[in-house]
Amino acid sequence: MIYSGCHSYQTLTAEMKDTSSPSPLEDMPVDYKYFKAVTNLGLVGVAFGGISVLANLLLLWSYESNNPYLAYPYVVWNIFMLLFTFGVTIFFIAI
């Protein structure tokens, strides 16, 4: 996912430097001014996926150790992820 986002950005900038090709901006599903933000959101999604794995491990650990306090980070993280997903969805609808 990281590679595809970086590769897409490099391809787009290389095509923009080439004056003989038609404008690649016409084929993009989003405006060029939002392209960098969309690429960064992909990287943030990968990082959040890693944190979600850690939160899931804490939930499993709380089950094994019978400690209910280790389950709270899982709940808080999933509420945060829900709000983040709503925000990204609203951003994509707006652009």
Calpha distance 9→1 (Å, rounded): 12
Whether 5 and 44 have beta carbons less than 8 Å apart is answered as no
Calpha distance 53→32 (Å, rounded): 33
Tens-binned pLDDT, residue by residue, of the chain (95 aa): 555 566 666 666 666 666 555 555 566 666 777 778 888 888 888 889 899 999 999 999 999 998 888 889 999 999 999 999 999 889 888 88
Looking at residue 36, its pLDDT comes to 80
Whether 57 and 42 have beta carbons less than 8 Å apart is answered as no
Calpha distance 53→61 (Å, rounded): 12
Looking at residue 30, its pLDDT comes to 67
User: Which phi and psi angles does 91 have, rounded to 5°?
Assistant: -60, -45
Looking at residue 91, its pLDDT comes to 85
Computed over its alpha carbons, how large is the radius of gyration of the chain?
19
